[in-house]
Chains A and B, each alone.
Chain A
Amino acid sequence: EPEVTQTPSHQVTQMGQEVILRCVPISNHLYFYWYRQILGQKVEFLVSFYNNEISEKSEIFDDQFSVERPDGSNFTLKIRSTKLEDSAMYFCASSVDSLNTGELFFGEGSRLTVL
């Protein structure tokens, strides 16, 4: 069964460093997402991406964040200058269609630890 895959599974970085989290969505899916979950808190929406552009983003997704689909298969989340509060589990997800008609498929997550 096709799955969303994410790398790395765990990354430790120093505050102020740039981080890139990578995701390979399911191949026939058209919509891609990033969510995050700070330890002990709820899963929060960051951004959705369709047709090579951002379709929706949350208040969390500020100028420090960017997303890209550089080669038609990978979907990346970049954090330009990490802060301590960026420490979280980051989930990539994909769907065939909108959430009202489609299902969201999640990756296993990338744990980011900012020191």
Chain B
Amino acid sequence: AQRVTQPEKLLSVFKGAPVELKCNYSYSGSPELFWYVQYSRQRLQLLLRHISRESIKGFTADLNKGETSFHLKKPFAQEEDSAMYYCALSGLGGSGAGSYQLTFGKGTKLSVIP
């Protein structure tokens, strides 16, 4: 079974401070990990995925298979980063084919204090 755990419901940091949003997963196969973000009154949107290894809006996330983690980090938080962040997992199908469902964590609300 797939499971995603985000231990923090709410994370408050001061502007300019580093941010780390934690995500741990449980999956027996080879997962694809994602971070989705929902800004106030906006729709859920993809922030980044581990396979692309890119930095979006200053955020990075490294997949650590040993620790089964995919923590989201940013060295200097900005006020506009305040949002709800969801870690999500997609598992490969049995034949290695693509999967069509995401398993989400409960989300962490990031509040950046000016």
Contacts and interface: CB of A to CB of B under 8 A. Distances in A.
Contacts of A45: 101-103
A91 interface: yes
Interface of B: 32, 34, 42-46, 49, 51, 86, 90, 92, 97-107
A55 B99 CA distance: 10
Interface of A: 3-4, 31, 33, 35, 41-45, 48, 50, 55-56, 58, 91, 97-101, 103-109
A42 B49 CA distance: 19
Contact of B44 (A43, A98, A99): A43
A58 B105 contact: no
A40 B28 CA distance: 28
Contact of A44 (B45, B51, B104, B107): B104
Determine chain B's interface SS by DSSP, over half rule.
loop
18 contacts: A3-B43, A41-B106, A43-B44, A43-B102, A45-B102, A56-B100, A56-B101, A98-B99, A99-B90, A99-B98, A99-B101, A99-B102, A100-B32, A100-B92, A103-B46, A104-B46, A107-B43, A108-B43
Contacts of B46: 103-104
A98 B43 contact: no
Contact of B100 (A43, A55, A91): A55
Contacts of A4: 43
A91 B49 CA distance: 20
B56 to A, nearest CB: 12
Given A41-B106, A99-B90, A106 B100 contact: no
